[in-house]
């Protein structure tokens, strides 16, 4: 590159007509000079000029070459190629459609997965220096830990600059007119200082506001909640709101874009954790054995401290605490986790990268298919290409034209795919997977996703254009114009065919496993959970939100139960504290000791069954069958001896059998001796695929709690029942926020993994089917168009159409059959994995086999339909005449 | 094409043009004649093929071009060697001579010399 180059470029762009004029003049001048010489040799002027023109050769071609020599015709050629490609593509809309749709599918899949990757993993928490922010999974549980342990960790560690902590505060928030449910974080005073963020309005609370329990009645609103509920009202500062009937002063608004320190939950407000008793109704911060104090602690590591050193440090503190408080604290090895996904981080990362891998496989398969389609097209047009080569087009020029065509298709496919992807990401971002739970998926399409999709589309365009490019480079125009396409189908498997088999196999695996998952899901909807979720409506309420505490809680709960029993057409109304089985994955366990145990330290626990505190009518309302003994009565209250009802597994493991259990005793962790008075059937408790677990039911009158679910069983329309429940409960206390749903709706959370697995397998199966379809179509079309002349001759010589069809489509169909069979076998093997995700998924079902075979045959039929029609419609006479 | 004429090796056209022009400014047709003259009519060049090469050399800054009047009293574009062009000609001539010598001795090798 030098000055002369730019001058010639500049001249070309600034004065294009002049450049062309000069070129014409120069070539003409050359011809005149030659004619002068010829004239001097004795020819007439006109004859001389004619000869000169002929000797010079093809002016247009040389002018084009001159143009190229001048450089800078990139755009000119591009426009020409684009026009030419568009014209070509318009002539084959079927090819265009299949190509664009194939690519759009693959790009959409990749855009969605990349969007998820971006939202969950690439995009850090929206706070300064978030890369150095670590949470400590510490204590007995991966997440929950006790407040005193947190305080000790904060004081004794040498690794963190400071440690903040938070838990959840799901409250009824009253702005003065009515109470609505709001989801907040109860945080330590240093929360905002540790995060190094500054308020949008007003101020944040900080460590100096904490002066013991209930000393800091302040609340900071999140920007989006302030915007949505307080309508950007700046005068909100200093106003008093009621959280569970306790007054809190609004002191500030958090900055926009700050959504708390968990990706899946956007808190509406932040309040000091020292005031938790006011919203929780009971103090949770004092007991070292109560792991409900803190959800997660986190902070920035000191400069120079590595995560490994910090982990060791945290474990040292844990070991110290276990030695100091052996009765309250059993230390398990701690680890450090990235803030945002808590201890789901590892699983989420593995899941997303798995998805990414699948998506790129899909893209690769799509490219292979498009390469196949392009080869078929190039073969169809090999005569046209050969003619252009023979007429003086350079191979480079034809390649450029091929690549332009590929780029046009990849741009179209990429655009369609991106729009589909954006739509899906928006839906996913707005999706609230669980009714009534404040969980969302932190995803929104952003420029990174657009760029990613575009680059991917262009890169794949380049990839699939390589296939026909190889073909063109080997084209010998003379041979093709003379003889037509002559290449013979090879005997051995081409790379593309192996790819196709792999593709069909993967498709069949996906189809098989999605069938297995689907059938399992359908079966699990009607299986026995140890209760009957159909025909029930549940009201979730927390009496603490309406200001009840202590002994007034069970009294009010009993009044509510009796009020619900007066609704006409109901079979039973029951109550369960906390959560019913299979709701929100919220299994609560209690430590149970043998009746003669004296040392009640954590290591001596007999087992830890799920624990439910229920009303006498609960078993009737839930349809849980009583196997032996009695249910609770209204007399099993605090003044009566402690009694329990256990499930069959509990009875078998502690007492040997159901009949032995009745009348037997065990000890709770607080030392209470409890007598077993009844045994009920086994059930599912925390999730659908767990091994059979022991469970214990206690009387809610003996261990009252303000958070409970009321269960109403009735065959009437759930909506009507819900409305009547609301009005009955409203009549008792108008200020109590309620959430009313059917049990089946609440089961969505435990069904979530199997739903997602089924959905993902279904979508991937569809994509796999789509790709196999275009792959086989491409191959069949290619094989037909390559051998069209041969088939024509065969037909002319008297071959039957059936035989010709066999010759044309035998190979693709064989590949399909082979791939499907391999996929079916692999799919049945892979379904073993599914059994752990989808309840009752089993591949040993003739329905699965039949469905897969039908699906794959349908696919084969669809893919070979058009090529087969083409073979059948061969007119040998016309074909041979044209050749 | 007379039987005695040689096929042009790829890449040698540029060098021939540079050599022709180095003997004095020439228009396109003149370049053609000069090449014929200095090679004793052994090297024949397709007339049209000359111009892409000329344009390329101008773009590379090895030749400069100006419009003028030819000996036939016609308007024509005259090409002249630039300083870079002169240097390139020197370099390529050296390289060509080395190649030609090497090829010559290689092809002249006799069995008894081995």
Of the two residues B7 and A155, the one the predictor is more confident about is A155
d(CA A233, CA A237): 9
pLDDT at A487 over 80: no
pLDDT at A91 over 80: no
A68 has a chain B CB within 8 A of its CB: yes
Q: So where are chain B's domains?
A: 12-105
d(CA A749, CA A20): 72
Name the closest residue on chain A to residue B71, using Cα atoms: A33
Domain B12-105 has CATH 1.10.10.10: yes
Region A587-605: mean pLDDT is 83
pLDDT at A142 over 80: no
Read off φ and ψ for residue A682, nearest 5 degrees. -70, 160
pLDDT, position A654: 93
Cβ(A468)–Cβ(A377) under 8 Å? yes
* DSSP states along B61-86: TSEEEEEEE-TTS-EEEEEEE-HHHH
Q: Are strands A240-243 and A164-174 parallel, antiparallel or unpaired?
A: antiparallel
ipTM, interface predicted TM-score of the complex: 0.86
A34 has a chain B CB within 8 A of its CB: yes
Cβ(A359)–Cβ(A352) under 8 Å? no
In percent, how much of chain A has pLDDT > 70? 88
d(CA A369, CA A371): 5
Confidence label for A365 from pLDDT (cuts 50, 70 and 90): confident
Using DSSP's 3-state secondary structure scheme, residue A676 falls into: strand
pLDDT, position A106: 87
Closest-CA residue to A381 (of A160, A95, A175, A656): A95
Q: Which residue has the tokens 């078993």?
A: A619
Confidence label for A652 from pLDDT (cuts 50, 70 and 90): very high
Using DSSP's 3-state secondary structure scheme, residue A715 falls into: coil
B74 has a chain A CB within 8 A of its CB: yes
- CB contacts of B51 in chain A (<8 Å) are 23, 26-27, 30, 62, 65-66
d(CA A102, CA A493): 24
Residue A847, exposed/middle/buried by CB under 10 A (0-12, 13-18, 19+)? Answer: exposed
Beta-carbon neighbour count of residue B37 at 10 Å? 11
* DSSP states along A561-602: HHHHHTSTTEEEEEEEES--TTSTT---B--EEETT-----G
A56 has a chain B CB within 8 A of its CB: yes
| Tens of pLDDT, residues A843-876 | 777 888 888 888 888 888 888 888 888 888 877 7
A131 has a chain B CB within 8 A of its CB: no
Confidence label for A566 from pLDDT (cuts 50, 70 and 90): very high
In percent, how much of chain A has pLDDT > 90? 21
d(CA A727, CA A539): 12
Cβ(A161)–Cβ(A354) under 8 Å? no
d(CA A724, CA A712): 11
d(CA A836, CA A520): 11
Closest-CA residue to A269 (of A192, A338, A212): A192
pLDDT at A669 over 80: yes
Q: Which residue has the tokens 């010829």?
A: A38
Longest CA–CA separation in chain A, Å = 138
Q: So where are chain A's domains?
A: 3-72, 77-120+350-488, 130-339, 495-527+751-883, 536-750
d(CA A715, CA A569): 8
Beta-carbon neighbour count of residue A741 at 10 Å? 20
Residues in chain A: 883
A10 has a chain B CB within 8 A of its CB: no
When CB atoms are compared, the residue of A2, A36, A56 closest to B48 is: A56
The tokens describing B41, both together, are 């009519």
B49 has a chain A CB within 8 A of its CB: yes
Q: Which residue has the tokens 């664009």?
A: A100
Half-sphere exposure (CA, 13 Å, Cβ side) for A131? 2
B47 has a chain A CB within 8 A of its CB: yes
pLDDT, position B2: 41
pLDDT, position A127: 79
pLDDT at A477 over 70: no
B46 has a chain A CB within 8 A of its CB: yes
Q: Best residue in A4, A41, A48, A70 to probe B by mutation, most B CBs within 10 Å?
A: A4
Q: What is the enclosing helix (H) or strand (E) of A675?
A: strand A673-680
Its sign, for the CA torsion A834, A839, A842, A843, is negative
pLDDT, position B42: 79
Region A349-371: mean pLDDT is 80
pLDDT, position A760: 77
Confidence label for A488 from pLDDT (cuts 50, 70 and 90): very low
Mean pLDDT computed over every residue of chain A: 82
The tokens describing A514, both together, are 């999605």
Confidence label for A551 from pLDDT (cuts 50, 70 and 90): confident
Helices (H), A662-747: 718-732, 743-746
Residues in chain B: 114
Using DSSP's 3-state secondary structure scheme, residue A349 falls into: helix
Cβ(A388)–Cβ(A76) under 8 Å? no
pLDDT, position A490: 47
- CB contacts of B74 in chain A (<8 Å) are 29, 32-33, 36
pLDDT, position A476: 64
When CB atoms are compared, the residue of B28, B53, B59 closest to A4 is: B59
Region A740-763: mean pLDDT is 79
pLDDT, position A847: 81
pLDDT, position A813: 86
Q: Do residue A69 and residue B52 have CB atoms under 8 angstroms apart?
A: yes
pLDDT at A716 over 80: yes
A883 has a chain B CB within 8 A of its CB: no
Region A162-168: mean pLDDT is 88
- CB contacts of A34 in chain B (<8 Å) are 29, 47
Q: Do residue A30 and residue B47 have CB atoms under 8 angstroms apart?
A: yes
Q: Do residue A27 and residue B51 have CB atoms under 8 angstroms apart?
A: yes
Closest-CA residue to A274 (of A293, A292, A295, A249): A293
Confidence label for A113 from pLDDT (cuts 50, 70 and 90): confident
A24 has a chain B CB within 8 A of its CB: no
What is the nearest CA distance from A381 to chain B, expressed in angstroms?
30
| Tens of pLDDT, residues A569-583 | 999 999 999 889 888
A59 has a chain B CB within 8 A of its CB: yes
d(CA A396, CA A458): 20
Angle at B97 between CA B95 and CA B100, to 5 degrees: 110
Cβ(A375)–Cβ(A468) under 8 Å? yes
pLDDT, position A396: 75
d(CA A310, CA A414): 46
Region A265-290: mean pLDDT is 83
pLDDT at A825 over 90: no
Residue A737, exposed/middle/buried by CB under 10 A (0-12, 13-18, 19+)? Answer: buried
Return all residues near A757 (Cβ < 8 A) that are at least 6 apart: A517, A834, A837, A838
pLDDT, position A182: 86
B93 has a chain A CB within 8 A of its CB: no
pLDDT, position A486: 46
Cβ(A399)–Cβ(A88) under 8 Å? no
d(CA A266, CA A225): 9
pLDDT at A124 over 90: no
| DSSP secondary structure letter of residue B6 | B
Low-confidence stretches of chain B (pLDDT beneath 70): 1-11, 113-114
pLDDT at A116 over 70: yes
Cβ(A371)–Cβ(A464) under 8 Å? yes
The string over A866-877, giving b where at least 16 C-beta atoms fall within 10 Å of a residue's C-beta and e elsewhere, is ebbebbeebebe
Confidence label for A617 from pLDDT (cuts 50, 70 and 90): very high
| Tens of pLDDT, residues A38-73 | 888 888 888 888 988 888 877 777 777 777 766 656
d(CA A77, CA A398): 11
The string over A92-108, giving b where at least 16 C-beta atoms fall within 10 Å of a residue's C-beta and e elsewhere, is eeebbebbbbbbbbbbb
Q: Lowest-confidence range among A246-260, A503-517, B97-111?
A: A503-517
Angle at A710 between CA A707 and CA A712, to 5 degrees: 170
What is the nearest CA distance from A15 to chain B, expressed in angstroms?
16
How many whole angstroms from its chain centre is CA A136? 26
pLDDT, position A11: 60
Alpha-carbon Rg for chain A, nearest whole angstrom, is: 38
Cβ(A518)–Cβ(A839) under 8 Å? no
Q: Lowest-confidence range among A427-441, A472-486, A546-560, B33-47?
A: A472-486
Confidence label for A618 from pLDDT (cuts 50, 70 and 90): very high
Q: Do residue B55 and residue A29 have CB atoms under 8 angstroms apart?
A: no
Name the closest residue on chain A to residue B48, using Cα atoms: A56
Its sign, for the CA torsion A833, A837, A840, A845, is negative
Q: Best residue in B29, B32, B36, B49 to probe A by mutation, most A CBs within 10 Å?
A: B29
pLDDT at A81 over 80: no
How many Å from the N-terminal Cα to the C-terminal Cα in chain B? 39
Closest-CA residue to A571 (of A721, A733, A674): A721
What is the nearest CA distance from A111 to chain B, expressed in angstroms?
44
Region A535-555: mean pLDDT is 86
Cβ(A184)–Cβ(A115) under 8 Å? no
Cβ(A23)–Cβ(B14) under 8 Å? no
Q: Lowest-confidence range among A161-175, A372-386, A659-673?
A: A372-386
């Amino acid at each position: 590159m030098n000055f002369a180059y730019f001058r010639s470029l500049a001249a070309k762009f600034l004065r294009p007509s002049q450049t062309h004029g000069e070129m014409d003049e120069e070539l003409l001048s050359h011809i005149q000079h030659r004619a002068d010489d010829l004239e001097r040799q004795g020819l007439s002027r006109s004859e001389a000029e004619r000869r000169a023109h002929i000797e010079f050769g093809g002016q247009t071609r040389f002018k084009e070459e001159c143009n190229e020599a001048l450089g800078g015709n990139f755009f000119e050629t591009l426009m020409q190629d684009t026009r030419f490609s568009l014209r070509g593509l318009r002539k084959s809309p079927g090819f265009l459609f299949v190509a664009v749709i194939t690519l759009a599918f693959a790009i959409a899949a990749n855009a969605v997965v990349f969007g998820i990757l971006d939202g969950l993993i690439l995009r850090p928490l929206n706070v300064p220096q978030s890369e150095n922010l670590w949470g400590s999974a510490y204590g007995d549980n991966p997440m929950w830990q006790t407040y005193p342990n947190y305080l000790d960790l904060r004081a004794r560690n040498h690794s963190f600059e400071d440690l903040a902590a938070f838990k959840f505060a799901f409250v009824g928030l009253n702005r003065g007119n009515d109470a609505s449910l709001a989801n907040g974080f109860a945080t330590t005073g240093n929360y905002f200082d540790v995060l190094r963020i500054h308020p949008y309005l007003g101020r944040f609370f900080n460590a100096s506001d904490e002066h013991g329990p209930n000393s800091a009645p302040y609340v900071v609103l999140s920007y989006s909640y302030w915007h949505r509920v307080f309508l950007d009202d700046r005068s909100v500062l200093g106003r008093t709101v009621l959280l569970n009937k306790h007054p809190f002063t609004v002191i500030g608004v958090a900055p926009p874009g700050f959504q708390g320190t968990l990706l899946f939950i956007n808190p509406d407000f932040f309040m000091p954790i020292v005031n938790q008793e006011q919203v929780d109704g009971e103090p949770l911060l004092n007991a070292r054995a109560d792991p409900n104090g803190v959800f997660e602690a986190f902070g920035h590591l000191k400069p120079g401290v590595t995560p490994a050193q910090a982990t060791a440090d945290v474990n040292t503190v844990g070991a110290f605490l276990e030695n100091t408080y052996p009765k309250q604290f059993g230390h398990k090895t701690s680890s450090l986790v990235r803030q945002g996904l808590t201890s789901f981080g590892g699983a989420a990362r593995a899941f997303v990268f798995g998805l990414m891998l699948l998506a790129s496989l899909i893209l690769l398969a799509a490219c292979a298919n498009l390469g196949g389609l392009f080869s078929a097209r190039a073969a169809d047009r090999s005569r046209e290409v050969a003619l252009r080569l023979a007429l003086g087009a350079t191979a480079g020029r034809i390649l450029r034209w091929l690549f332009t065509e590929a780029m046009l298709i990849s741009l179209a496919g990429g655009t369609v795919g991106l729009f589909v992807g954006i739509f899906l990401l928006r839906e996913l971002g707005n999706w609230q997977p669980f009714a009534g739970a404040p969980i969302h998926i932190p995803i929104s399409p952003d420029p990174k996703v657009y760029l990613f999709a575009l680059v991917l589309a262009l890169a794949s365009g380049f990839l699939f254009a390589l296939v026909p490019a190889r073909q063109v480079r080997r084209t010998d125009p003379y041979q093709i114009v003379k003889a037509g396409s002559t290449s013979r189908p090879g005997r051995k498997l081409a790379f593309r065919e192996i790819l196709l088999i792999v593709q069909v196999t993967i498709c069949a695996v996906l189809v098989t496993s999605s069938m297995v998952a689907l059938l399992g899901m359908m079966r699990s909807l009607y299986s026995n959970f140890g209760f009957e979720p159909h025909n029930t409506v549940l009201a979730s309420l927390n009496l603490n939100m309406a200001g009840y505490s202590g002994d007034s809680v069970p009294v009010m709960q009993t009044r509510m139960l009796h009020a619900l029993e007066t609704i006409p057409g109901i079979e039973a109304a029951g109550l369960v504290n906390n959560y019913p089985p299979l709701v929100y994955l919220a299994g609560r366990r209690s430590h149970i000791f043998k009746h003669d145990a004296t040392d009640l330290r954590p290591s001596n626990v007999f087992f830890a069954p799920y624990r439910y505190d229920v009303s006498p009518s609960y078993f009737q309302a839930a349809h849980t069958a009583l196997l032996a003994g009695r249910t609770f009565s209204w007399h099993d209250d605090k003044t009566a001896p402690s009694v329990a009802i256990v499930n069959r597994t509990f009875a078998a493991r502690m007492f040997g059998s159901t009949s032995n259990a009745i009348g037997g005793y065990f000890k709770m962790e607080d030392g209470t001796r409890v007598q077993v008075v009844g045994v009920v059937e086994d059930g599912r408790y925390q999730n659908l695929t767990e091994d059979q677990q022991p469970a214990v039911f206690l009387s809610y009158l003996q261990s009252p709690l303000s958070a409970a679910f009321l269960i109403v069983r009735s065959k009437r329309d759930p909506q009507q029942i819900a409305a009547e429940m609301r009005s009955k409960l409203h009549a008792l206390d108008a200020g109590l926020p309620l959430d009313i749903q059917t049990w089946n709706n609440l089961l969505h959370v435990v069904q979530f993994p199997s739903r997602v697995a089924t959905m993902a397998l279904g979508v991937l199966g569809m994509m796999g089917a789509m790709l196999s379809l275009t792959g086989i179509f491409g191959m069949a079309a290619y094989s037909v168009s390559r051998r069209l002349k041969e088939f024509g001759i065969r037909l002319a010589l008297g071959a039957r159409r059936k035989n010709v069809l066999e010759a044309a489509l035998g190979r693709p169909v064989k590949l399909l059959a082979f791939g499907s069979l391999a996929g079916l076998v692999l799919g049945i093997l892979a379904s073993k994995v599914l059994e752990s995700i989808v309840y009752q998924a089993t591949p040993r079902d003739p329905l699965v086999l039949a469905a897969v075979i039908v699906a794959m045959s349908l696919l084969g039929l669809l893919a070979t339909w058009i090529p087969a029609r083409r073979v059948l419609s061969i007119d040998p006479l016309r074909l041979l005449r044209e050749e | 094409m007379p039987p005695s004429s040689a096929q042009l090796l790829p890449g040698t056209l540029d060098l021939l043009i540079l050599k022709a022009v180095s003997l004095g400014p020439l228009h396109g047709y003149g370049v053609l004649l000069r090449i014929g003259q200095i090679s004793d009519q052994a090297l024949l060049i397709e007339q049209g093929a000359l111009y892409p090469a000329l344009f390329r050399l101008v773009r590379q800054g090895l030749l400069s071009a100006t419009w003028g009047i030819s000996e036939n009293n016609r308007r024509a574009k005259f090409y002249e060697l630039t300083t870079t062009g002169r240097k390139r000609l020197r370099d390529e001539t050296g390289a060509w001579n080395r190649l030609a010598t090497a090829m010559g001795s290689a092809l002249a090798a006799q069995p008894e010399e081995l």
